[in-house]
Amino acid sequence: MASSHLVVLFSLLLPLAFPSTAASGDVPSKTPENKTEVVVEGIVYCQSCDHVGTGSLTGAKPIPAAKVGVICNDHKKRVSFYKAFEANANGYFYAPLEGFKMSNSILEHPLQACHVKLLSSPLANCSIPTNVNYGLYGSPLRYEDKKFVGKNYVAVIYAAGPFAFRPAYCPIQPHN
| pLDDT tens, position by position, 34-87 | 567 899 999 999 999 999 889 999 999 999 999 999 999 988 889 999 999 999
Contact (CB, 8 A) for 55 and 75: no
- Domain range for 158 is 43-166
Residue 102 has pLDDT above 70, yes or no: yes
In this structure, is residue 104 part of a structural domain?
yes
In this structure, is residue 21 part of a structural domain?
no
In this structure, is residue 18 part of a structural domain?
no
pTM: 0.75
In this structure, is residue 5 part of a structural domain?
no
Number of domains in the chain: 1
In this structure, is residue 38 part of a structural domain?
no
Q: How far apart are CA 138 and CA 40, in angstroms?
A: 13
Residue 11 has pLDDT above 70, yes or no: no
In this structure, is residue 73 part of a structural domain?
yes
In this structure, is residue 72 part of a structural domain?
yes
In this structure, is residue 22 part of a structural domain?
no
Q: How far apart are CA 87 and CA 40, in angstroms?
A: 12
